[in-house]
Structure 1
Amino acid sequence: MKNKFIITIVVVCSFLSCAKNQNLDDYLASLEKEKKAMGTVSVFKEGKEFYTKSIGYSNINLNKKNNSETKFRIGSISKTYTATIILQLVDEGKLSLNTKLKDFFPTIPNSENITISDMLYHRSGIFNITTDKNFEVWISEPRDRAEVIAKIKEYQSLFTPNSITEYSNSNYILLAYIAEDVDKETFADIIQNRIVKKIGVSKTAFGKDIDFSNNEAMCYYPENNKWHPITFHTNLLGTMGAGGITATANEVSVFYNALFTGKLLSEKSLELMTTPKEKMGMGISVDEFNGMVVYGHDGAIDGFRSMAAYIPELKLTISFTFNASSGSSTQKLMQIFKSYKYTINQKK
């Protein structure tokens, strides 16, 4: 959940770049051989997957390799799912973008001036809970709603709502709680009913403790040219809609394609989601590459690194879910991708 909400244009650039001497298979094989990454890549064109490849291990000790059905923690890509759920509630007239936070959580500083829209756009001024001292230790234990809200309200509002954009995971934690209050269901059930069932997937869910028997990936860090397990994990009960979802790379692509082709939101809500303020949409970032609009989000939680992007002009969706990378942040992973050029070969 350390994502800095940077659209992964360099990754998209690499996928679209062309070189005669190295294709995507070669590139991913080099990442595996050089111990730069382990995970799965999924590429969709016009709504259908035409390339997928998995590299490395989901669990080294158990000698289990990653495959197309391996599930990964996707970190802050979860925010796109959460924004979709909130906008569905708006479409149904159960919530308004102008609804004030005070209607749900009046004890949050400045809640009387913060709207649902401000939170979706990261323009609320709410303190980012993940920057709290010793947060990584605190969040490793199960945290309920009362504990999380108590932690958030320890800090005063950082700025006047809707005056600037400043990324805050707290926004999407609170938005998930709001969805629970409106739908009167757990966030896990909301994901199933509002996303999973609607797009016909089966391996996307609100995450629990990692279950290796259920083809869920362990995460790793590199040291001395070896992968070492990261055993100190975030408890996803505290991350909620900011970073609590697990999925396969394929199902992230299915979701992104369904979302941006109008299968989950009204035309009006999708237009709102993709209309940026300071390059920030609702649960996504909005940027350009070679004159083409790109919608996307990256994710980082524990040792997991992920990315999803959709390019409407090309009807192209790109997702990767990695359980290991040689960098300590998403930015480092982007540099690795940027250093390579390759073509996408159509899957036979």
Structure 2
Amino acid sequence: MKSTRMRLRRVCAAAAAGVLIAPAVAGSAYGASAPVLSAPAAPSPDAGSEFPQLTPAVAARLDAAIRQVMREAGVPGVSVGLWAPGKGSYVKSFGVADKATGAAMKPDLRVRIGSETKTFTVTALLQLVDQGKLGLDDPIGKYIAGVPNGDRITLRELAGMRSGLFNYSLDPDFIKKLQADPERSFTPQQLLDYSFKNPVQFQPGAKFDYSNTNLILLGLVVEKITGRPIHDVIQKDVLEPAGLRNTLFPTSPAIPDPHAQGYTNQTASGKIEDSTAWNPSWAWSAGEMISDLQDLRSWAHTLATGTLLTPATQAERLKTTPMNLPGDGYGLGIFNVQGWIGHNGSIPGYEVLPVYLPEAQATMVIVLNTDVQTQGQEPSTLLGQAVTEIVTPDHVYPGHKPLAPKPS
């Protein structure tokens, strides 16, 4: 979930619902930059800052770069979309959606989106801010009892990953139970219990540290204020107004058809397994949702431009705290990495990277059916880097170690 570059330039990435979550950003502890795979094709000498026309020649370079990363990272299937006004579009799928049958990957297949879920949960929270039902600087203890430092940690600090609360998805007992039975169900309170038995990592607001625990708490706040389950709030207050028809917050482990099979090595044996039927309840409001390429394209624009929020609240959302490297920052459930605004997501078996570049009004979405890292790098980050080195050499989405490790 944590989903976290969430695994961003180590941002955010996270992953796994963790992700970024594990953040996708499944997790979030920064570290030194991981080594990269052999470099994708370099941008042409005359490449400038302007987004290029997506001509057949550019498409051929993208094809080659994507296939190279797939070979080196062992990616079964991926769909990539690029759109920019007046520049055309590039939408293509590669590889297989199902290794058992050989069925081809397609752009319309649904996948689990890991920590991209955080953007929906925080949007629901910020809508309540706009309605005057809560304030970003309210302490979490005003709404949820029993939170360590709950009288001082604010909703803003939770959404901005600056609470200091331990990330439950890194707790050894949690990891052991999840790997022993990945189809088991977890409640939000059980997830918090794994976090709260560990000491706080630092005082509220002291620094940035990606933690799925933050989003579980915000999901509970949304439920308490609205009196409705989080899946209903997101469906009616976020997805429907945003016009997203193929996105959902599931109430069971099932993924609606058509969908890609997912493959992960986040297993007790460390071997790659089909994780499609694994129960994502452990990610809940931090990483449980499902979507597809076109909905993520639309959402990337909605999220970055703030069409579901007031301008003042969107401005608060986009105020970022440095994560690790120059040009990388994390706002309220959103990141800005080298100018690309959005969030990535990773959960066992799947990763997504939907981002928007305001300078070019360009959108990039990458959807793949594995979260298996290569040399410590998220496959979605490697693909994002390969693509942006071609189309936006002045805004390269770089590959770094995630903010936090996945459950393993």
Q: TM-score range by the shorter chain?
A: 0.7 to 0.9
Q: Structure 2: 5+ residue runs without aligned partners?
A: 12-39, 48-56, 266-270, 323-328, 393-408
- The reply to whether residue 103 of structure 1 matches residue 142 of structure 2 is yes
Q: Matches of 1:9 and 1:302 in 2, distance apart?
A: 19
Change (3 A) 1:248 1:108: same
- The reply to whether residue 52 of structure 1 matches residue 91 of structure 2 is yes
User: Which of these residues, 115, 119, 122, is aligned with residue 83 of structure 1?
Assistant: 122
Change (3 A) 1:228 1:160: closer
The CA deviation at 1:311 is 1.0
Letter in 2 for 1:158: Q
- What secondary structure sits across from 1:59 in the alignment? coil
- The reply to whether residue 135 of structure 1 matches residue 174 of structure 2 is yes
Q: Encode CA deviations 1:57-86: one digit per residue, 9 max, x unaligned.
A: 222324432222101111112112221111
Greater shift after overlay, 312-321 or 128-137? 128-137
Change (3 A) 1:28 1:79: same
- The reply to whether residue 249 of structure 1 matches residue 249 of structure 2 is no
- What secondary structure sits across from 1:317 in the alignment? strand
User: Which of these residues, 94, 105, 112, is aligned with residue 73 of structure 1?
Assistant: 112
Q: Matches of 2:86 and 2:132 in 1, distance apart?
A: 29
- What secondary structure sits across from 2:280 in the alignment? coil
Letter in 2 for 1:24: L
Q: Encode CA deviations 1:263-319: one digit per residue, 9 max, x unaligned.
A: 11110111111111222111112233xxxx321322221121221221111111111
Change (3 A) 1:61 1:125: same
- What secondary structure sits across from 2:108 in the alignment? coil
Contact kept? 2:304, 2:342, Cα under 8 Å: no
Change (3 A) 1:181 1:16: farther
Q: Matches of 1:205 and 1:330 in 2, distance apart?
A: 28
User: Which of these residues, 314, 330, 340, is aligned with residue 270 of structure 1?
Assistant: 314
- 1:304 corresponding residue in structure 2: 350
Contact kept? 1:187, 1:240, Cα under 8 Å: no
- 1:3 corresponding residue in structure 2: 3
The CA deviation at 1:239 is 1.2
- 1:173 corresponding residue in structure 2: 216
Change (3 A) 1:189 1:337: closer
Q: Encode CA deviations 1:107-135: one digit per residue, 9 max, x unaligned.
A: 11111111100101111111111110043
- What secondary structure sits across from 2:366 in the alignment? strand
Letter in 2 for 1:78: T
Contact kept? 1:40, 1:66, Cα under 8 Å: yes
Contact kept? 2:275, 2:349, Cα under 8 Å: no
Change (3 A) 1:60 1:335: closer
Q: Encode CA deviations 1:2-44: one digit per residue, 9 max, x unaligned.
A: 534243599xxx8995586842234334555674351211223
- 1:24 corresponding residue in structure 2: 62
Letter in 2 for 1:244: E
Number of residue pairs the alignment of both structures matches: 334
Q: Matches of 1:209 and 1:59 in 2, distance apart?
A: 21
Greater shift after overlay, 23-32 or 154-163? 23-32
- The reply to whether residue 285 of structure 1 matches residue 335 of structure 2 is yes
Q: Matches of 2:175 and 2:154 in 1, distance apart?
A: 28
- 1:156 corresponding residue in structure 2: 199
Greater shift after overlay, 162-171 or 302-311? 302-311
The CA deviation at 1:167 is 1.0
- 1:313 corresponding residue in structure 2: 359
Change (3 A) 1:71 1:149: same
The CA deviation at 1:325 is 5.9
Q: Matches of 1:269 and 1:196 in 2, distance apart?
A: 19
Letter in 2 for 1:85: A
**TM-score for the superposition, normalised by structure 1:** 0.84
Q: Matches of 1:74 and 1:41 in 2, distance apart?
A: 15
**TM-score for the superposition, normalised by structure 2:** 0.73
Q: Matches of 1:253 and 1:203 in 2, distance apart?
A: 12
Contact kept? 1:142, 1:235, Cα under 8 Å: yes
- The reply to whether residue 145 of structure 1 matches residue 188 of structure 2 is yes
Q: Structure 1: 5+ residue runs without aligned partners?
A: none
Q: Matches of 1:50 and 1:217 in 2, distance apart?
A: 23
- 1:192 corresponding residue in structure 2: 235
Root-mean-square deviation (CA), in Å? 3.2
> Quick check: which one's strand share is greater?
1
Contact kept? 1:127, 1:155, Cα under 8 Å: yes
Contact kept? 1:100, 1:114, Cα under 8 Å: yes
Contact kept? 1:253, 1:318, Cα under 8 Å: yes
- 1:261 corresponding residue in structure 2: 305
Q: Matches of 1:87 and 1:49 in 2, distance apart?
A: 33
Contact kept? 2:2, 2:286, Cα under 8 Å: no
Q: Encode CA deviations 1:80-109: one digit per residue, 9 max, x unaligned.
A: 222111111101111110111112222111
Contact kept? 1:101, 1:114, Cα under 8 Å: yes
Q: Matches of 1:296 and 1:24 in 2, distance apart?
A: 22
